[in-house]
Amino acid sequence: MSFKLTVDGVTHTIDIVRRRPHLVVRIDGREHEISATGSFDEGRQTIEIAGAPVHFTRAHSGDQLLVRLGGRTFETAIVDPRAEAAGAGGGLDVFKAPMPGAVVSLHKQPGDEVQRGETVVTIESMKLQTALAAPRDGRIAELLRQEGQTFEKDDVLVRLEPAADGA
Amino acid sequence: MNRRTDPQTTATAAKTVPFRKVLIANRGEIACRVIRTLRAMGIASVAIHHRVEANARHVRMADEAVEITGDTPVAAHLDAAQIIAAAKQTGADAIHPGYGFLSENAKFAKAVADAGIVFIGPDAATIELMGDKISARNFAEKHGVPVAPSVMPTGDLKAFAAAAEKIGFPMLIKAAAGGGGKGMSIVRSAKDMAEAARIASSEAMRYFGDGRVYAEVYVEKPRHIEVQVLGDGKGGAIHLYERECSVQRRFQKIIEEAPAANLPAKLRDAICRSAVDLAKASNYKNAGTVEFILGADGRYFFLEMNTRLQVEHPVTEMITGLDLVKAQIEIAAEQGLPLAQKDVGIDGHAIECRICAEDPARDFMPETGQLRYLGVPEAPWLRFENALDSGQKITADFDPMLAKLVVHGETRDEAASRSVEALHELALLGVKTNTDYLARVLDHDAFRAGELHTGFVPQHAGELAAGEPDAQTLDTVLIAAALGFREFHDLAFDVPEPHASIGGWRN
């Protein structure tokens, strides 16, 4: 019986080996006995792995569960099996704002051909200018923000025409 | 010894309470910091806020609060007329500007004074003198403070480039009205000079509405050393020793310490004396900071003077035991300096880390999010300066600095180790921060050895990047995360035993 999680974007599989008397899981071939599973809550937590206490902090943020352990924060999420199946090749048709800000200048117009890495939009966020480059070769379908307009983080700024088959 | 964790506010208790009520023309951690001292001195506090921060910590902490309006929250905090009206309306007899916003705005200082309110800072003329890099530099030079050989601005970029060539390369181009790295660039040869000057000038025009640029000798691997001074406005001035702020990214400080690492006593004395000379020559009145760059050859040059409380002032408070906000208030009330120079000592070492909402892995780009959990380190030797609330949205409305961790130790090494421990303990979940990056800097051998210069961050970029976690850590993280997901709980604990061995997890 397995459970898939991503840690900082990389997928890992946790297999439940035994549930009694203690929960035992296998990760990449390594077995761990969780002798105390702690509470389900957010915040400071203590569990025991092979009898040794492990302290960490945990909080949900959107779809993510943030885990802070050993002076480092990790972003984890459940892998949705359906998304996994549909995932290949998607996600490159739009570019999203990496942070809130405003459009300084547009370097392309709808219909223009762009090459991967070519600057399409210059944005300004918190006084810093950043060039946003095309994620792949293609043609601009739509520019969703004009010069001077503002946007929030993750807003779609540019849409490319869908890639032609076999391109 | 751990008694320096909070500035002492009792040393000069004999002085009368200088003001009844003070308005803080700021927000966030610095507003909270100022209110703390006002409270200790028995002075009432007035906070100002835009509607987006109506429930912010500084508003809740203050005795009174006034809403200010503006197209953006920052615009509201820059609206001098509204702020002065708020002070009048609440009967405040003084305004503390904090840092940033209107703290170095000569027009604001003048308007406050004209309204019959005390501005806790220098007069408008001093702010103006020091606010312009060129006039400040000329003033410093005139009073014997070392300045870098430089070329003054001219409308003729060709003549500018020719003059620069005579001094020699590399040179640094700066905006006369600048700050924060805007309009700055390094030029390494004569052929690049004219173009670099043109770009710097247009950037300066865009950011500061003033296109004047100048160029000065660029010191390779410079250290940023600054001196905290206090002036009484009558020619009396003392220094509270130096701070080192060499660890910077994007020309902005991220780690500051006091005193500087491995600074020879003679050199320290010379630098501190130069700072006092400048403060005395300008009849400086307030706490102020005289910034210098220090070359590997021991030459040091005046950079600029900040006529306000500095973000990193707590490290000086920790090693001297003085409350700088209290000193500012007493000076503004004509009660003079808190100590004579001979009574200012250095006790141990202090380090400040600026915790910012940013992603060190993406060139320190600002990040936004929502604070889902806040776990704050506590120890007698540290101050965690912040105005954060759990659940708070971290937006692009204000500066990305979220908090400051200020730690004291008997030695530099102890202060660094304690800082790392506190950074590990700090849990600020829901927005990416530089917390772990700062810990890696403090643990880096070059930092521990005091081998600092303003290019420290790019020089050690590779080693300062987050490495891959080892397998044991990764497994522990996966277990800790899995136990926090209901889906895993259901699978591991709730399913009746016979079924556990068959169906896998389904969404």
Condensed to tens digits (0 to 9), the pLDDT of residues B59-74 reads 999 999 999 999 999 9
> Does A166 reside within a domain?
no
List, in order of start, the domains of chain B with CATH numbers.
Answer: 3-129 (3.40.50.20), 149-217 (3.30.1490.20), 223-464 (3.30.470.20), 471-500 (no CATH)
Judging by DSSP bridges, how do beta strands B94-96 and B118-119 pair with one another?
parallel
For residue B496, is pLDDT > 60?
no
For residue A166, is pLDDT > 60?
no
Q: How far is CA B169 from the centre of its chain?
A: 30
Condensed to tens digits (0 to 9), the pLDDT of residues B30-86 reads 999 999 999 999 999 999 999 999 999 999 999 999 999 999 999 999 999 999 999
> Does A31 reside within a domain?
yes
Q: Quick one: A64 and A9 in the same domain?
A: yes
How far apart CA B467 and CA B485 sit, in angstroms, is 26
Q: Is B249 a catalytic residue?
A: no
CATH of the domain at A80: 3.30.700.30
Q: Quick one: A106 and A37 in the same domain?
A: no
Q: Quick one: A7 and A75 in the same domain?
A: yes
Residue A103 domain boundaries: 94-160
For residue A33, is pLDDT > 90?
yes
Q: Which pLDDT belongs to residue B495?
A: 56
The half-sphere exposure of A56 on its side-chain side, counting CA atoms within 13 A, is 33
Helix or strand holding residue A5 (H, E): strand A2-7
Distance from CA of A142 to the nearest CA of B (A): 26
First to last CA, chain A: 40
Helix or strand holding residue B243 (H, E): strand B237-249
**Where are any strands of DSSP class E within B68-212?**
94-96, 118-119, 150-151, 171-175, 185-187
For residue B280, is pLDDT > 90?
yes
- B435 CB within 8 Å of a chain A CB: yes
Q: Which pLDDT belongs to residue B492?
A: 86
Residue A94 amino acid letter: V
Helix axes B28-41 and B324-332, enclosed angle (nearest 10): 70
Number of structural domains, chain A?
A: 2
3-state secondary structure of B38: helix
- ipTM of this complex prediction, to 2 decimal places: 0.82
Of A34, A42, A66, the CB nearest to B479: A34
Interface of B with A in 199-258 (CB under 8 A): 207, 250
Q: Quick one: A30 and A80 in the same domain?
A: yes
Q: Quick one: A54 and A121 in the same domain?
A: no
| Domain end residue (candidates: A85, A107, A133) | A85
Q: Quick one: A78 and A13 in the same domain?
A: yes
Evaluated on CA atoms B325, B330, B332, B333, the torsion sign reads positive
Asked if the Cβ–Cβ distance from A2 to B469 is below 8 Å, we say no
pLDDT band (50, 70, 90) for residue B4: very low
> Do B487 and B501 meet the contact criterion of CB atoms below 8 Å apart?
no
Neighboring chain A residues of B482 at a CB cutoff of 8 Å: 3, 5, 14, 25
Residue A120 amino acid letter: V
For residue A81, is pLDDT > 80?
no
How far apart CA B376 and CA B348 sit, in angstroms, is 24
Residue B145: closest CA among B221, B233, B237: B237
C-alpha distance from residue B106 to each of A164, B111, B305, B388 (Å): 60, 9, 14, 31
Q: Which pLDDT belongs to residue A150?
A: 87
3-state secondary structure of B213: strand
Global pTM?
Answer: 0.82
Q: Quick one: A48 and A8 in the same domain?
A: yes
Condensed to tens digits (0 to 9), the pLDDT of residues B128-152 reads 999 998 899 999 999 999 999 888 8
Catalytic-labelled residue, pool B4, B212, B243, B308: B308
Distance from CA of A127 to the nearest CA of B (A): 9
Residue B481 amino acid letter: A
Q: Dig out the tokens for A36 from the structure.
A: 């105390």
3-state secondary structure of B78: coil
Any idea which of A44-58, A153-167, B258-272 has the lowest mean pLDDT? A153-167
- B505 CB within 8 Å of a chain A CB: yes
Average pLDDT for A14-35? 93
| Domain end residue (candidates: A59, A85, A111) | A85
Q: Which chain A residue has its CA at the smallest distance from B493's CA?
A: A19
Interface of A with B in 57-76 (CB under 8 A): 57-61, 65-74, 76
| Domain end residue (candidates: A85, A117, A147) | A85
- B396 CB within 8 Å of a chain A CB: yes
